[in-house]
Structure 1
Amino acid sequence: MIRFFLRLMAIWLAAAGLVMAVIDAAKSIAESRLVLTPFAETWANWAAASLDAAHHALADKAPWLWVFLDKAVLSAPTFAVLLVVAGLLFWLGRPRRRFTFAHERDL
């Protein structure tokens, strides 16, 4: 059940990442220059209160983690962050390989 939920979330995040890539492509064509929406901007547009809450929670308890997130994740393009998280969830939700002993494979 957990694997199913992980794969379902991965599909939704991959779809959202592709939608954000199309939005960025449309903006880039309209402005005749490359436009990439940072993840922080998207998060602030959708849920500014949770972004502020995450900032205060992490900046107080683990400032080094907030610096990493701010530099690496929040400044990255939204479509890239969503697709990387989707790939991670796909990997975590992959079907388990059946374990077989070496002598069973020869039979």
Structure 2
Amino acid sequence: MVRFMLRFLSLMALVIAVMAGTIDAIQSVSASEPVLTPLAVAWSTASPDTIALVADGIMRKFPYAWDPAAMWVLSQPAFAVLLALSLFFWVIAYKRRPVAGRFTA
């Protein structure tokens, strides 16, 4: 069940990353220059309440991590962060095949 949820989260992050990348590509073609939307801008556009809730929670529990870590992640392109998150969930949920074959005990 946990593996299924991690794979589902990986799929959802991948779908959102592809959407964000597509939007950036369309804006780049229209502007004739590369346009990369930071995660903070994309997140606040999509759901301003949740970004404020997460920011408040991080600042309350881990105030020393807000400036160096969270601000760096929020300033990165949205599609890249979501692709990395998708890969992270997929790697956690990955199950290796048995070395000896499928019919071994």
Category of TM-score, reference length = shorter chain: 0.7 to 0.9
Identity of aligned residues (%): 30
Note the residue ranges of structure 1 that are not aligned, 5 or more in a row. Answer: 101-107
Matches within 5 A, 1:1-80: 1-67=1-67, 68-71=69-72, 73-80=73-80
Structure 1 CA distance for aligned equivalents of residues 70 and 77 of structure 2: 13
Name the CA distance, whole Å, in 1 between partners of 2:11 and 2:5.
Answer: 10
Name the TM-score, length of structure 1 as normaliser. Answer: 0.83
Taking the aligned partners of 2:49 and 2:24, their CA distance within structure 1 comes to 24
**CA 1:8/1:60 → structure 2, altered by over 3 Å: closer, same or farther?**
closer
Aligned residues: 100
List alignment gaps of at least 5 residues for structure 2.
101-105
Larger radius of gyration: 1
The worse-fitting range, judged by mean Cα deviation, of 59-68 and 38-47 is 59-68
Runs ≥4 in structure 1, deviation > 3 angstroms? 96-100
Cα distance in structure 2, aligned partners of 1:52 and 1:69: 13
Greater displacement, 52-61 / 74-83: 52-61
Shift of 1:6: 0.8
